[in-house]
Amino acid sequence: MDVDLRKVRYFVAVAEELHFGRAAERLHIAQPVLSRQIRALEDELKVLLFVRTKRATELTEAGRQLLEDGRPLLAAAEAARVRVVQAARPAGTFTIGFMPGITVTTAVRAFTKQYPELTIELLRTSWHDQVEVLRDGRADVSIVRLPIDQQGLTVRPLFEESRVVMLPTDHRLAGKPSLRISDLADEHLLQDPDAVPEWRDIAVELRERRPGRVPVFHNVEEKLEHVAAGNGISVLPLSTASFYTRPDVVAVPIEDIGPNHVCLAWSAGRRARTIHDFAEIAIGLTWST
């Protein structure tokens, strides 16, 4: 019998979360679909992998064994895919990923002077794929915004910048010169609360266990459309907010919130001289925000 790696990936997500709802969110699929896939895997293996009650989801002995074997199986498959993608890329290219609002021109010019024979490619990333472009081999390095999953990566700090809250122009707080995070306690945050722990800790909707829906955003433009429509607020780095100005949304500084940390990241297993040299250049720059 062939093992379906997709089902194994679904299983590992549920086994790590021990909660079908959270695992479905993590995988960006509907919970009923995930439940059907797990039942299909159990039918194929002819074993019970989970014991589900009203209170908890627990692994069986067979489930614990599959989790132990499944993680390295998925890692090996991913490593093979990365090697194939990297082998397919044209020789003599170096790809730099970067997040919206970050200007990489100075670093690229300095690197090009050092390696004039290389073709430098730039890859715009998002919150959802700024790390994935390293894991799947699309980029050699990526300039990322924390927090990220740093497992398997080398991460070096570059700079930090202040953050602002994005509000529709008719919002009650839109005309304020600055705000404190407590002013936003009653608002709905259109992003992962863990990305803004200062808000998460005082948010009324989380305290009352009534979190509003957060759509999946593929870019900043989509997020700002929801802000402009009055569906909630968003906290962004200042440079991103400045880059995506529009007449129906305003950026207001937040006085008591931590800065956004920008770092350079690459796969820990990569030892290429070009990566080391680009890192030296990027770390040595004075970045403008």
DSSP string spanning 183-234? Answer: GGTTSPBSS-GGGSHHHHTT-HHHHTT-PPP-PPPSSHHHHHHHHHTTS-BE
pLDDT score at 46: 93
Q: Which of 161, 143, 123, 105 is nearest to 275 (CA)?
A: 143
Q: Which of 249, 200, 196, 201 is nearest to 222 (CA)?
A: 249
Q: pLDDT tens track of the chain, all 289 residues?
A: 677 899 999 999 999 999 998 899 888 888 999 999 999 999 999 999 999 887 889 999 999 999 999 988 887 787 777 667 666 666 689 999 999 999 999 999 999 999 999 999 999 998 888 998 998 888 999 999 998 889 889 999 999 999 999 999 999 999 999 999 999 999 999 988 888 999 999 999 988 877 777 777 878 999 999 999 999 999 999 999 999 999 999 999 999 999 999 999 999 888 889 999 999 999 999 887 6
* Residues 249 and 228: beta-carbon distance below 8 Å: yes
Q: What is the DSSP letter of 84?
A: H
Torsion of CA 62, 82, 137, 4, to 10 degrees: -40
Domain 163-253 - what CATH class?
Answer: alpha beta
> What angle is formed at CA 192 by the lines to CA 147 and CA 165, rounded to 5 degrees?
90
- CA 119 – CA 87 distance, rounded (Å): 16
- CA 117 – CA 166 distance, rounded (Å): 43
Q: Which of 289, 284, 279 is nearest to 142 (CA)?
A: 279
* Shared fold status for 5-86 and 163-253: no
* Residues 258 and 154: beta-carbon distance below 8 Å: no
pLDDT score at 289: 64
pLDDT score at 1: 60
Three-class DSSP category at 279 = helix
* Residues 265 and 154: beta-carbon distance below 8 Å: yes
Domain boundaries, the chain: 5-86, 89-161+260-284, 163-253
Copy the structure tokens of residue 33.
Answer: 């679909």
* Residues 233 and 113: beta-carbon distance below 8 Å: no
Q: What kind of fold does domain 5-86 have according to CATH?
A: Arc Repressor Mutant, subunit A (1.10.10)
* Sheet with 93-98: strands ordered across: 119-124, 93-98, 141-145, 260-267, 153-161
Q: Write the DSSP assignment of 6-64 as a string of letters.
A: HHHHHHHHHHHHT-HHHHHHHHTS-HHHHHHHHHHHHHHHTS--EEE-SS-EEE-HHHH
The radius of gyration computed from the CA coordinates of the chain, to the nearest angstrom, equals 22
Looking at the DSSP assignment, which residues form a beta bridge with residue 50? 59
- CA 209 – CA 200 distance, rounded (Å): 12
The CATH number of 89-161+260-284, from 3.40.50.150, 3.40.190.10, 3.40.50.360, 3.30.2350.10, is 3.40.190.10
